[in-house]
Amino acid sequence: MTPMKWFLSFLKRYRKNMILGLILTVLITALNIVNPYISGMIVDDVILGGAYPLLLPLVGCMLGVIVIRGVMRFLYQVVFETASQGLLYDMRDKVYRKLLQEDFRFYNKKRTGDLMSRQTGDMDAIRHFVAYVIYVTCENVLMFAFALTMVFTVSVKLALCMLAVLPFTALATYRQSKEVKPAFQRNRNCFSSLNAFVQENVSGNRVVRAFSKEDYEIEKFNKENNAFRAAQISASGVWMKYVPIFEVLAYALNIILMLYGGYMVIHEEITLGALVTVNGYLWMLNNPLRMAGWLVNDIGNFITSVEKIYATYSEEPDVKTPPAGVRKKLKGEISFEDVSYRADDEDIVMDINFHVEPGQTVGIIGSTGSGKSTVMNLLCRFYDTTSGHVKVDGIDVRNMDLYNLRDNIGMAMQDVFLFSDTIEGNIAYGRPDCSFEEVKKAAIMADANHFIQAMPEGYDTIVGERGVGLSGGQKQRISLARALLKDPSILILDDTTSAVDMETESYIQKQLKLIEKDCTIFIIAYRISSIKDADLILVMDKGRIIEQGTHESLLAENGYYASAFRNQYGEIPEELLKGGN
Ligand code: ATP
Ligand code: MG
């Protein structure tokens, strides 16, 4: 599908509005012809012909036309405005839904500010096109055609003379449209870039301050700001160059009329009334020529915006839910079979093999960047494996309904994100219809209840972007409560207790023991204490599982895990070292 076809698919839904609007446009434009015609009659028949009693009825007619035109103008604006707002609503909705379907790869590569520009500035260019540009273009084309036809009925020779400006107009329109497109593309890119910069800086405001980088950021902002200004000026430069050309062409019509029309009246080829009539049509010929430059500009802007929005919209996610994917409550048996994942021509994880029974707890430990989070991302199908199979309850996750799979997983992610909402709203995010008691129970399990209740507004305290500041450990515990409340079959805690003290961690571990029989739990951690009781411990390094087993067997192996133990606790007790032999 091309961007324009995509746009037309939205416009089609408002075809009734568009047809009604265009009929009104035709009627209004046709009415424009009446008054100059009556003016000609007043000059020829009333003033020069002496039919004085006709003056009042003729002026009355002119007034009637003005009133009817006014009413119609109001109506067609309502019709086009409703269509444009409706179309924009549908388009925003569709683009937003698509954004929600996009996978991690898409968001890794896109800047938030860019995506925001698609939904704001670009959408507005489309609204302007539907609400204004379409009908103004039609009105002007019709106006020009009607007026020219009327001039033809008055005098073919005069009309032909006036027609001589058209090829010049066509040429100027063509050239402007060619120049305006790249200028607008540059303009939109700079706008997106400026937007993205501001968005990133506002979000990262604390880092900027902590490093006293205000001056550096202002300098960078100035660069973006300058680039946008330059792009705007260069886009304006295009129409600034062409608008005077259209003006000159428009005035050329006046000159032709006065020169050749005057000549014809003097030589009695046409009457004075006819000259007045044609003069009355003159603005209908002039105006479209004057508007041409602006309209070409607006159309160029519109096309660029549709192309930009469509480019974002048409990006298909790699990870898609299969058409008839398995949907069921999962038990939580998990196996990774020769799983590898490559991204950007780089091996991220390789040859991952392990098996977990439902209700088991798995600890994952390993150096930073060793692929621990990636393994969990593959389990949740945030990415698809490059080779091998990730199976849950014996079913390849690629054959499982994506939403069903993720519904069965509760995840406390490594970088905690809280929405601008109350604490209760954040914890209940996965199950918005659950009772307050359930929210509180999850918070108690995550050892979050104490500090939440100590807050002035308790569970109603707003957190997230516009809310109160929370400590790292507090955020982690809210995120843990959010994952627990889902009552999942698989619980993933990615570095979830790294910012809490030992006492809190051991409390949380006890709470997790209460649910472990119904839930397979993955705990990613650096601290041995967080994972030592796990049924299976995976030790990762450079994208591979280098050791796997229980705490005791791994200590006995005296490898990476044992040296991590030594780093954290000192020497390994003799009996443990022997235990594995
Ligand atoms: P940490 O303990 O610091 O959280 P980790 O073990 O969780 O580390 P991962 O987040 O799994 O590490 O990342 C492993 C490596 O793979 C990193 O170098 C990361 O940059 C890279 N990586 C992960 N996912 C992708 C991706 N989709 N595209 C490119 N690189 C990726
Ligand atoms: Mg990680």
Residue 410 beta carbon below 6 angstroms from any ligand 1 atom: no
Residue 496 beta carbon below 6 angstroms from any ligand 1 atom: no
Locus of tokens 């030992």: 502
Residue 371 beta carbon below 6 angstroms from any ligand 1 atom: yes
Q: What percent of the chain has pLDDT over 70?
A: 98
Element (H, E) at 521: strand 520-524
Contact 518, 359 (CB under 8 A): yes
557 CA to centre of ligand 2 in angstroms? 25
368 CA to centre of ligand 1 in angstroms? 8
Diameter over CA atoms, the chain: 128
562 CA to centre of ligand 1 in angstroms? 24
Q: Look up residue 325 and give its DSSP letter.
A: -
Is 339 in a helix, a strand, or coil? strand
**Could you give the C-alpha distances from 37 to 45, 398, 509, in angstroms and in order?**
12, 73, 91
What does the block give as tokens for 381? Answer: 């199908």
Please give the number of the atom of ligand 1 that sits closest to the Cα of 370: 6
In this prediction, residue 577 carries a pLDDT of: 64
Residue 234 beta carbon below 6 angstroms from any ligand 1 atom: no
Ligand (nearest to CA of 347): 1
Under the banding of pLDDT at 50, 70 and 90, the label for residue 409 is: very high
Q: Is the pLDDT of residue 414 over 60?
A: yes
Q: How many residues does the chain have?
A: 581
β-pairing, 387-392 vs 395-396, is antiparallel
Q: Give me the half-sphere count of Cα atoms (radius 13 Å) on the Cβ side of residue 502.
A: 3
Contact 357, 426 (CB under 8 A): no
Rounding to the nearest 10 degrees, give the CA dihedral for residues 86, 88, 89, 91: 120
* Closest alpha carbon to 545 in 337, 358, 334, 383: 337
Contact 319, 385 (CB under 8 A): no
Percent of the chain as helix, strand, coil, to the nearest 5: 70, 10, 20
Between 550 and 466, the higher pLDDT residue: 550
371 CA to centre of ligand 1 in angstroms? 5
In this prediction, residue 220 carries a pLDDT of: 94
Q: Look up residue 415 and give its DSSP letter.
A: S
| Residue nearest (by alpha carbon) to ligand 1 atom 20 | 369
Give the residue-averaged pLDDT of 559-581.
74
Cross-strand pairs, 258: none
Residue 481 beta carbon below 6 angstroms from any ligand 1 atom: no
For a mutational test of ligand 1's pocket, the pick from 319, 342, 373, i.e. the residue with the most ligand atoms closer than 8 A to its C-beta, is 373
d(CA 288, CA 141): 7
Please give the number of the atom of ligand 1 that sits closest to the Cα of 540: 6
Contact 547, 557 (CB under 8 A): yes
Contact 102, 317 (CB under 8 A): yes
In this prediction, residue 576 carries a pLDDT of: 64
* Closest alpha carbon to 448 in 469, 427, 421: 427
For a mutational test of ligand 1's pocket, the pick from 346, 350, 352, 374, i.e. the residue with the most ligand atoms closer than 8 A to its C-beta, is 374
Residue 374 beta carbon below 6 angstroms from any ligand 1 atom: yes
370 CA to centre of ligand 1 in angstroms? 7
Residue 377 beta carbon below 6 angstroms from any ligand 1 atom: no
Under the banding of pLDDT at 50, 70 and 90, the label for residue 503 is: confident
Residue-wise pLDDT for 305-341, tens only, equals 999 999 999 999 989 889 988 898 999 999 999 999 9
Residue-wise pLDDT for 132-187, tens only, equals 898 899 989 998 898 889 899 989 999 999 888 889 988 998 898 888 888 988 99
Element (H, E) at 258: none
| Residue nearest (by alpha carbon) to ligand 1 atom 24 | 374
Contact 162, 257 (CB under 8 A): yes
d(CA 330, CA 120): 41
Rounding to the nearest 10 degrees, give the CA dihedral for residues 485, 491, 492, 496: 50
d(CA 539, CA 364): 6
Buried b (16+ CB within 10 A) or exposed e, 303-321: bbbbbbbbebbebeeebeb
d(CA 22, CA 80): 9
End-to-end C-alpha distance for the chain, whole angstroms: 66
In this prediction, residue 166 carries a pLDDT of: 86
d(CA 527, CA 237): 62
Q: How many Å is the Cα radius of gyration of the chain?
A: 36
In this prediction, residue 205 carries a pLDDT of: 87
Residue-wise pLDDT for 363-383, tens only, equals 999 999 999 999 999 999 999
* Closest alpha carbon to 153 in 286, 259, 281: 281
What does the block give as tokens for 419? Answer: 């929405």
d(CA 339, CA 374): 11
Burial of 141 (0-12, 13-18, 19+ CB in 10 A): middle
329 CA to centre of ligand 1 in angstroms? 30
d(CA 269, CA 422): 83
Average pLDDT score over the chain: 90
| Residue nearest (by alpha carbon) to ligand 1 atom 22 | 348
Give the residue-averaged pLDDT of 8-26.
92
What does the block give as tokens for 316? Answer: 């298909």
**Could you give the C-alpha distances from 419 to 119, 425, 442, 448, 467, in angstroms and in order?**
20, 9, 18, 17, 9
433 CA to centre of ligand 2 in angstroms? 31
Contact 348, 342 (CB under 8 A): yes
What does the block give as tokens for 311? Answer: 């480019």
| Residue nearest (by alpha carbon) to ligand 1 atom 11 | 371
In this prediction, residue 581 carries a pLDDT of: 41
497 CA to centre of ligand 1 in angstroms? 19
372 CA to centre of ligand 2 in angstroms? 6
Residue-wise pLDDT for 388-400, tens only, equals 999 999 999 999 9
In this prediction, residue 467 carries a pLDDT of: 61
Contact 282, 260 (CB under 8 A): no
In this prediction, residue 466 carries a pLDDT of: 60
d(CA 251, CA 290): 9
Residue-wise pLDDT for 214-273, tens only, equals 999 999 999 999 999 999 999 888 888 888 998 898 889 899 999 999 999 999 999 999
